[in-house]
C-alpha cells in the first residue's frame, strides 16, 4: 500500500473515525488529525507528545484509515484481512495494555479486523493459532519480530504489512534493540516499498535525528503534540539534611516523611527507585512503618515472576493498591489512571527519566501530573532544584543509535538466512560468494547506512565459516549457499539461533523457588553463589532463607530472621546526565555567590556553607581541587561535575599521565560530582594543571591513553562476553538446561584469547573496545570535560579535614574494603575531625602574647 491513494478514498473511513471520537465525547486534537493526514498520504514520521496526550489513538487511527481505505476488514467482510499492522513495544507489560487500547474502536470501525499479541509470554496454544494465520494487527516486541523473520515463509507472511508503529522509540533508540528494529524495518521495506513507519516518543532532545534513525532513508514528518498539561516537580525536604552526607545517608531517615505523603493521598502512589535492590529495601521500609498496609502496598520490578507483576498491574488499574514500589518496569506507557502521585526516591539521574515517571500520574489529557523527589543525600537537594529548572527550560537528553555493531549484523544475517535465505552472487572477495543486493538493503538501516563492502564481507564470512580463526570448526559454519541462496541447512544451528535471538544480555539468572513448589522470580547467579545454606536475604518483598541450589534454581523457605541482605544486581548504577550535572553545577555557582533562591537550596544551605568554610564552592569558570593528608596517604579531590562514567575515565587518565611523569601509586574513587586520587606521594598541583596532563591531543592519542590508564583489557573482555552471546559464538543453553555464568564466561574468554592471539583484526574485538570507550567511559563526554578543565581556573584548597564534597568520595572507596561497622567507626572519626575544624574556623581568633626579649 503506497502513498499514491486518492484522498477521496479516505473520506468515508475518516468520517467514521470522527464519529467514533464524538460518540465517546472526545474531540480529536490537532496533532492527531495531522498524523491521520500524514499517514493517509503515505508518509512516515515521529510523533512527540507528552505522556497521556493521546499518541496511541493518533497513530492507530492513521493505521485504521490506511487499512480501511484499501477495503480491508470493513463491515460485511467474511474473513479477516491478512497481517497489515505491526505494533512494536519495548516491554511485555506494555504490550498487553496496548492490545486492549487497540481493540476498543474495532467493533465500530473495523469489525473484520483481528488483534493479537506475540511476546515471550504468549501461551503455546495462542502461538499455534497465530502460526496458522496471523491476526490483522500484531502487538509484539523487537525480539519476537526478529523471530518472525526466521520463519521459512517470512517473506510471504510479512509482505502484506503496510504500517509499523514503534512505541516508546526513545527507549529503543540508544540500544542494540533499536538497531534490531532498524534492520527488521529494512527487510519489511524491501518486502513492501510503500511501508509507513511511525515512532512514538514523549521524552527526547534530538527529535530530527531520532526520526531519521527510524524512518531512513524515506522523507518523514515530525509532529509535535503540544497540550497544556500542568506538571508539578517538588521535593520532600528532610527535617535535618545535615552538613555531611553521602549516597544513601538520608535514605532510611526519609521513611516517616514518605509514609505521611502516601497516607495523605486518596488514591494510589507510585514510589519509583532507580534499581531493584533499592525497590526491595523501600518496600520493606514501608511495611515496617505500616504493617497494616500488607496487601495494600506492592512491589514491581523486572525480576519478579510474571504472575506477580500482572497482579500488581491489575491492582493499579483497579485502584485497589495504596502504593506500589517500582523500578523502570512501570516507567513506560501503561495506563494507570487511578495513580494520584509519583514519588522518586533519590535522583532520577536524567531529565527524560524524570518526565517519564512524572507522566505516570495524571495519565490522561487535561489531568495534572506531579512528581515529588525524595533525596537520599543532601546534594540531591541541589540536583532536584536543578532538574526542575532544566525541565522548565526544555533541556532533555539526546539519545543516539549505536553505529554498525557487528554482533547484531552477524545475528541478523543468520536470521535472514533462516527466513527463506538471501541471494548469493559472485561479487564477494577472494572468489567467495557474496550478497550485493543484501548490502544495499542493510544500508537502508540508519546504523548501517555507511556499511562498507569490506565490513559486510567480513560479517558474511564470519557467519558462514567463523572467520579466519574458526574455519576448522563445523559448528561455526552457520550459512551455506544452497541453490544459489545463503541458507542455514543445519537444523541444530537453526534451533540454537532461534532460542537466543535478541540483544538483551544479562548475567545468568537463577530461578528463586519455594522448597515445596512455586516460584518468586529470578536473581543473578553471582549473588546466589555468595550465599551459604541458612543465610537470609530479601527478595520479592519477603525475607527468605537459602536452602540449596540445583540446576540454576535456588530453593528457599520463609526465614525466621526478620532481616536479611538485600539482593544486589550488577550494572545497576546510573551516571548523572550532562543536563542534570550542568543544572546542579549552576546552582552551586549561585550558592557560592550567596544566592539561595530555591527551597531545596535553603535546605541544603548548612552543607553548602560547611563546604564554603572548610574548603570552597567553585565560582563560574573555576574548578575546585582539594588536597588532604591522612594516614592512608595523599588525597586529591577534583570536582568536575561530569558524571560517574566520565570521572572514571578522567581519574584513570590523570593517574596514568601523572605516574608516567613521576612514579607513584594511585587508588581511584568516583561519583557523579568528582573523583579522588589517593597516592603514596603527593601530587604537585602545577603538574596536574599543566597543559599536557589535560590535553586531548589527537583523538587516537586520547583513546590510547584512556585504554592504557585502566584495565582496558579486562573491560573489553567483559564487554566481549555480551558481544559473543549476541553474535552467536556462545550458546546459553536449551530451556531447562541453561548454562551457568562461569561456563559462559569461560567460553567467551576462550574466544577472546583466540581472536586476540590469532585474529587481531577480528571486528568483534574492535567493537568491544569501542563499546568500552563510548558506553562505559563516555569518551566523548570525557573530551568535553577535558576542554572545560583546560578553559577553567584552578581553585586549589588544602583541607584540614574532609569537606562535604570530599567525604562521599572517600565513602565510595572505603565501602569496598571495610565492613559496615568499621566503615561507621572510620566515618565517625572523620566527621568529628570535620566538626572540630568547623568549630575552629568559626571561633574568634585568640590574641597571642608577645614574648619579651
- 272 with 349, same domain? yes
Q: What percent of the chain has pLDDT over 90?
A: 53
- 220 with 263, same domain? no
pLDDT surpassing 50 at residue 552: yes
25: left (phi over 0), alpha (psi -120 to 50) or beta: left
Q: Is residue 92 part of a domain?
A: yes
Per-residue pLDDT, 504: 78
Instruction: List the one residue out of 125, 159, 130 whose CA is nearest residue 144.
Output: 130
Q: How far apart are CA 341 and CA 362, in angstroms?
A: 8
Per-residue pLDDT, 847: 45
According to DSSP H, which parts of 623-698 are helical? 644-661, 685-688, 691-694
φ and ψ of 294, to 5 deg: -55, 125
- 308 with 381, same domain? yes
Q: How far apart are CA 664 and CA 716, in angstroms?
A: 26
Q: How far apart are CA 204 and CA 189, in angstroms?
A: 26
Per-residue pLDDT, 4: 47
pLDDT surpassing 80 at residue 725: yes
Q: What is the DSSP string of 68-97?
A: HHTT-S-TT-SS---S-EEEE-S-HHHHHH
Helix axes of 763-771 and 741-758: crossing angle, nearest 10 degrees: 120
Mean pLDDT lowest among 16-20, 81-85, 406-410, 430-434:
430-434
What value does the mean pLDDT take over residues 285-302? 94
Q: Which three cell numbers, joined as nine digits, stand for 119? A: 511476546
Element (H, E) at 312: helix 306-318
- 64 with 89, same domain? yes
- Domains identified in the chain, total number: 4
Q: Which three cell numbers, joined as nine digits, stand for 680? A: 603514596
Residue at grid coordinates 586476540: 756
Q: Is residue 746 part of a domain?
A: no
What value does the mean pLDDT take over residues 209-236? 90
Confidence of residue 589 (pLDDT cuts 50, 70, 90): very high
Instruction: List the one residue out of 767, 727, 769 whose CA is nearest residue 748.
Output: 727
Per-residue pLDDT, 368: 77
What value does the mean pLDDT take over residues 428-453? 87
- 360 with 277, same domain? yes
**Range of the structural domain that residue 302 is part of:** 231-392
Q: Is residue 519 part of a domain?
A: yes
Sheet arrangement for strand 666-670: 666-670, 675-679, 633-639, 622-630, 793-798
Element (H, E) at 588: helix 578-592
Q: Which three cell numbers, joined as nine digits, stand for 717? A: 573482555
- 308 with 355, same domain? yes
Instruction: Calculate the CA 498 to chain-centre distance.
Output: 25
Mean pLDDT, the chain, rounded, equals: 87
Q: What percent of the chain has pLDDT over 70?
A: 90
pLDDT surpassing 60 at residue 6: no
Per-residue pLDDT, 347: 92
Label the pairing between strands 536-539 and 542-550: antiparallel
The residue among 736 and 238 whose pLDDT is bigger is 238
Per-residue pLDDT, 60: 96
- 37 with 148, same domain? yes
Whether the CA torsion 169, 170, 174, 175 is positive or negative: it is negative
Per-residue pLDDT, 431: 58
Q: Is residue 15 part of a domain?
A: yes
Mean pLDDT lowest among 57-71, 125-139, 190-204:
57-71
Q: Of the residues 370, 392, 414, which one is the last residue of a structural domain?
A: 392
Per-residue pLDDT, 228: 65
Per-residue pLDDT, 429: 59
- 239 with 215, same domain? no
For 368, what's the count of Cα atoms within 13 Å in the CB-facing half-sphere?
Answer: 7
| 330-343 tens-digit pLDDT | 876 556 666 888 99
Contacts of 329 (CB under 8 A, 6+ apart): 91, 93, 300, 301, 302, 309
Q: Is residue 110 part of a domain?
A: yes
Burial class (CB within 10 angstroms; exposed 0-12, middle 13-18, buried 19+) of 595: exposed
Per-residue pLDDT, 842: 66
Q: Is residue 41 part of a domain?
A: yes
Extract long-range pairs of 126-135: CB within 8 Å, 24+ residues apart: 133/80, 134/82, 134/83, 135/80, 135/83
3-state secondary structure of 539: strand
Helices (runs of H) and strands (runs of E) counted in the chain: 33, 29
What value does the mean pLDDT take over residues 450-469? 92
Q: Of the residues 180, 199, 225, which one is the last residue of a structural domain?
A: 225
CATH classification of the domain holding 25:
3.40.50.300
Per-residue pLDDT, 141: 93
Instruction: List the one residue out of 45, 33, 31, 46 whose CA is nearest residue 3.
Output: 45
Q: Which three cell numbers, joined as nine digits, stand for 157? A: 507472511
- 245 with 199, same domain? no
What value does the mean pLDDT take over residues 265-269? 90
Contacts of 313 (CB under 8 A, 6+ apart): 93, 97, 300, 330, 334, 336
- 221 with 235, same domain? no
Burial class (CB within 10 angstroms; exposed 0-12, middle 13-18, buried 19+) of 558: exposed
- 12 with 113, same domain? yes
Per-residue pLDDT, 770: 87
Confidence of residue 599 (pLDDT cuts 50, 70, 90): very high
Instruction: List the one residue out of 548, 477, 467 whose CA is nearest residue 512.
Output: 548
Instruction: List the one residue out of 199, 171, 143 whose CA is nearest residue 412.
Output: 143
Confidence of residue 850 (pLDDT cuts 50, 70, 90): very low
Q: How far apart are CA 241 and CA 381, in angstroms?
A: 9
What value does the mean pLDDT take over residues 468-477? 86
Q: Of the residues 356, 371, 392, which one is the last residue of a structural domain?
A: 392
What value does the mean pLDDT take over residues 83-105? 88
- 148 with 276, same domain? no
Element (H, E) at 66: helix 55-69
Q: How far apart are CA 386 and CA 579, in angstroms?
A: 9
Q: Is residue 736 part of a domain?
A: no
Q: Is residue 603 part of a domain?
A: no
pLDDT surpassing 90 at residue 674: yes
| 434-446 tens-digit pLDDT | 788 999 999 999 9
Per-residue pLDDT, 849: 40
Amino acid at each position: 500500500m503506497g502513498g499514491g491513494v486518492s484522498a477521496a478514498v479516505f473520506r468515508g473511513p475518516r468520517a467514521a473515525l470522527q464519529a467514533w471520537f464524538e460518540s465517546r465525547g472526545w474531540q480529536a486534537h490537532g496533532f492527531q488529525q495531522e498524523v491521520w493526514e500524514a499517514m493517509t498520504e503515505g508518509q512516515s514520521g515521529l510523533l512527540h507528545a507528552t505522556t497521556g496526550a493521546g499518541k496511541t489513538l493518533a497513530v492507530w487511527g492513521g493505521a485504521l484509515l490506511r487499512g480501511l481505505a484499501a477495503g480491508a476488514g470493513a463491515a460485511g467482510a467474511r474473513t479477516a484481512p491478512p497481517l497489515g499492522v505491526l505494533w512494536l513495544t519495548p516491554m511485555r507489560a506494555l504490550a498487553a495494555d496496548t492490545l486492549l487500547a487497540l481493540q476498543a474502536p474495532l467493533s465500530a470501525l473495523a469489525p473484520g479486523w483481528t488483534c493479537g499479541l506475540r511476546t515471550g509470554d504468549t501461551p503455546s496454544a495462542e502461538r499455534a493459532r497465530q502460526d496458522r494465520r496471523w491476526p490483522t494487527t500484531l502487538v509484539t516486541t523487537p525480539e519476537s519480530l526478529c523471530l518472525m523473520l526466521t520463519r521459512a515463509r517470512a517473506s510471504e507472511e510479512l509482505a502484506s504489512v503496510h504500517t509499523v508503529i514503534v512505541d516508546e522509540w526513545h527507549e529503543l533508540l540508544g540500544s542494540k534493540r533499536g538497531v534490531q528494529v532498524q534492520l527488521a524495518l529494512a527487510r519489511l521495506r524491501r518486502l513492501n516499498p510503500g511501508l509507513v513507519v511511525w515512532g512514538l516518543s514523549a521524552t527526547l532532545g534530538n527529535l530530527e535525528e531520532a526520526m531519521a534513525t527510524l524512518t531512513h532513508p524515506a522523507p518523514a514528518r515530525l509532529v509535535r503534540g503540544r497540550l497544556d498539561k500542568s506538571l508539578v516537580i517538588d521535593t520532600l525536604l528532610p527535617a535535618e539534611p545535615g552538613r555531611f552526607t553521602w549516597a544513601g545517608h538520608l535514605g532510611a531517615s526519609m521513611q516517616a516523611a514518605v509514609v505521611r505523603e502516601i497516607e495523605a493521598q486518596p488514591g494510589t502512589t507510585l514510589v519509583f527507585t532507580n534499581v531493584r535492590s533499592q525497590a526491595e529495601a523501600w518496600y520493606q521500609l514501608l511495611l515496617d512503618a505500616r504493617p497494616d498496609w500488607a496487601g495494600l502496598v506492592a512491589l514491581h520490578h523486572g525480576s519478579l515472576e510474571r504472575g506477580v507483576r500482572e497482579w500488581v498491574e491489575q491492582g493499579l488499574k483497579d485502584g485497589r493498591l495504596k502504593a506500589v514500589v517500582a523500578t523502570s518496569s512501570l516507567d513506560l506507557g501503561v495506563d494507570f489512571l487511578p495513580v494520584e502521585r509519583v514519588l522518586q526516591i533519590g535522583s532520577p539521574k536524567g531529565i527524560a527519566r524524570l518526565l517519564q515517571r512524572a507522566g505516570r500520574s495524571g495519565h490522561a489529557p487535561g489531568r495534572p501530573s506531579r512528581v515529588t523527589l525524595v533525596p537520599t543525600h543532601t546534594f540531591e537537594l541541589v540536583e532536584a532544584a536543578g532538574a526542575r529548572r532544566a525541565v522548565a527550560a526544555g533541556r532533555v537528553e539526546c539519545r543516539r543509535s549505536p553505529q554498525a555493531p557487528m554482533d547484531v549484523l552477524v545475528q541478523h544475517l543468520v536470521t535472514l538466512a533462516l527466513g527463506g535465505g538471501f541471494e548469493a552472487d559472485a561479487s564477494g572477495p577472494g572468489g567467495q560468494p557474496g550478497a550485493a543486493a543484501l548490502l544495499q538493503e542493510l544500508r537502508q538501516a540508519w546504523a548501517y547506512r555507511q556499511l562498507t563492502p569490506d565490513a559486510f564481507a567480513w560479517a558474511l564470512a564470519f557467519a558462514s565459516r567463523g572467520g579466519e580463526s574458526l574455519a576448522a570448526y563445523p559448528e561455526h559454519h552457520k550459512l551455506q549457499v544452497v541453490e544459489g541462496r545463503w541458507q542455514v541447512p543445519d537444523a541444530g544451528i537453526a534451533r540454537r539461533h532461534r532460542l537466543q535471538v535478541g540483544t538483551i544480555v544479562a548475567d545468568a539468572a537463577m530461578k528463586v523457588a519455594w522448597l515445596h513448589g512455586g516460584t518468586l522470580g529470578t536473581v543473578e547467579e553471582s549473588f546466589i553463589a555468595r550465599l551459604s545454606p541458612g543465610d537470609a536475604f530479601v527478595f520479592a518483598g519477603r525475607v527468605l532463607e537459602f536452602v540449596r541450589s540445583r540446576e540454576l534454581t535456588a530453593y528457599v523457605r520463609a526465614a525466621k530472621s526478620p532481616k536479611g541482605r538485600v539482593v544486589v544486581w550488577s550494572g545497576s548504577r546510573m551516571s548523572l546526565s550532562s543536563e542534570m550535572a550542568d543544572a546542579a553545577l549552576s546552582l552551586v555557582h549561585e550558592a557560592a555567590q550567596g544566592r539561595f533562591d530555591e527551597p531545596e537550596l535553603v535546605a541544603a544551605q548548612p552543607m553548602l556553607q560547611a563546604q564554603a568554610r572548610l574548603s570552597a564552592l567553585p565560582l563560574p569558570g573555576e574548578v575546585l581541587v582539594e588536597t588532604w593528608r591522612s594516614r592512608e596517604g595523599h588525597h586529591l579531590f577534583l570536582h568536575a561535575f561530569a558524571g560517574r562514567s566520565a570521572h572514571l575515565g578522567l581519574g584513570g587518565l590523570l593517574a596514568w599521565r601523572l605516574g608516567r611523569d613521576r612514579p607513584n601509586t594511585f587508588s581511584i574513587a568516583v561519583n557523579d560530582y568528582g573523583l579522588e586520587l589517593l597516592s603514596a606521594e603527593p601530587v604537585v598541583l602545577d603538574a596536574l594543571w599543566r597543559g599536557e596532563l589535560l590535553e586531548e591531543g589527537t583523538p587516537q592519542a586520547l583513546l590510547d591513553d584512556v585504554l592504557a590508564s585502566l584495565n582496558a583489557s579486562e573491560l573489553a573482555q567483559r564487554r566481549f562476553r555480551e558481544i559473543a552471546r549476541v553474535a552467536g559464538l556462545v550458546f546459553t543453553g536449551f530451556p531447562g538446561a541453561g548454562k551457568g555464568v562461569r561456563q559462559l564466561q569461560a567460553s567467551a574468554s576462550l574466544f577472546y584469547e583466540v581472536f586476540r592471539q590469532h585474529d587481531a583484526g577480528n571486528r568483534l574485538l574492535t567493537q568491544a573496545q569501542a563499546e568500552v570507550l563510548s558506553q562505559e567511559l563516555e569518551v566523548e563526554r570525557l573530551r568535553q570535560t577535558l576542554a572545560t578543565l583546560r578553559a577553567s581556573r584552578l581553585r586549589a584548597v588544602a583541607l584540614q579535614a574532609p569537606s562535604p564534597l570530599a567525604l562521599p568520595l572517600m565513602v565510595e572507596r572505603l565501602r569496598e574494603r571495610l565492613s559496615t561497622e568499621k566503615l561507621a567507626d572510620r566515618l565517625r572519626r572523620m566527621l568529628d575531625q570535620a566538626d572540630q575544624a568547623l568549630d575552629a574556623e568559626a571561633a574568634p581568633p585568640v590574641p597571642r602574647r608577645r614574648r619579651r626579649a
